[in-house]
């Protein structure tokens, strides 16, 4: 799964990397992004790539209330095209969710150690995401809520010793293909949801500070051991 991640770059660098106009959205480094928080997404509009904050945890349009979103932070690559909650978004509302690392907890005896996982290049990357608009039908005056999920897949050989799932990391050359709302080739889209090359990844252990989203400063990403092998 993917339950925490980071986006630590300055806003202008993110805008340049993901090809949207700087100044469109206020961005600050984030070191411990957690479910139900607003996360940066990139969607495609007629004018090009657009940044948009969305609640992490997709709320299907048919949901009676927002609480279901806590169970929808991830969509499985194997079933996203058929799932009642996700299939419409997969077909019509895809997004990029920028990151520069994610956290996973590896079992270590009776405890678990948190690891920060990132590209060896330390460059930003994008999770493929899907998004939805939800409105409280019991309150006509309510404001529509935009929400999203990160798509996960089976682990590659690097992630297998850590966890039985991992987020998909899109190859950079496929990001715009994923965003294209005119792309209706669902077979090709599903083929994009494979685990990345294990040789691209590195990891190191961080402190238990990351266990709580109340800890969100830069100290969260400080290493406590040598890089994971």
Catalytic positions? 2, 104
Q: What is the DSSP string of 184-216?
A: --HHHHHHT-SPPPGGGEEEEEE-GGGGSTT--
In sequence order, the 6+-apart residues with CB closer than 8 A to the CB of 33 are: 4, 5, 6, 7, 39, 56
Cβ-based neighbour number of residue 74 at 10 Å = 21
**Token reading at 22:** 């700087």
The position carrying tokens 């990357």 is: 125
- DSSP state, residue 209: G
């Amino acid at each position: 799964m993917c339950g925490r991640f980071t986006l630590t770059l300055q806003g202008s660098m993110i805008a340049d990397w993901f090809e949207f106009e700087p100044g469109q959205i206020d961005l600050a480094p984030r070191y411990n992004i957690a479910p139900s928080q607003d996360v940066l997404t990139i969607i495609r509009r007629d004018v090009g790539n657009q940044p948009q904050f969305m609640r992490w945890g997709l709320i299907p349009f048919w949901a009676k209330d927002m609480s279901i979103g806590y169970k929808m932070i991830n969509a499985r690559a194997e079933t996203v095209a058929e799932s009642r909650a996700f299939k419409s978004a997969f077909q019509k509302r895809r997004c990029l969710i920028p990151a520069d690392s994610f956290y996973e907890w590896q079992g270590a005896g009776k405890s678990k150690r948190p690891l920060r996982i990132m590209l060896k290049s330390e460059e930003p990357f994008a999770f493929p995401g899907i998004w939805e608009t939800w409105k409280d039908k019991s309150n006509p005056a309510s404001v529509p809520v935009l929400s999203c999920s990160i798509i996960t897949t089976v682990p590659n050989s690097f992630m297998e010793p850590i966890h039985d799932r991992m987020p998909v990391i899109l190859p950079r050359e496929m990001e715009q293909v994923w965003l294209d709302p005119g792309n209706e080739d669902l077979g090709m889209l599903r083929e994009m949801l494979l685990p990345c090359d294990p040789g691209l990844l590195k990891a190191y252990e961080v402190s238990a500070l990351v266990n709580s989203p109340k800890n969100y400063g830069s100290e969260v990403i400080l290493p406590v051991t040598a890089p994971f092998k």
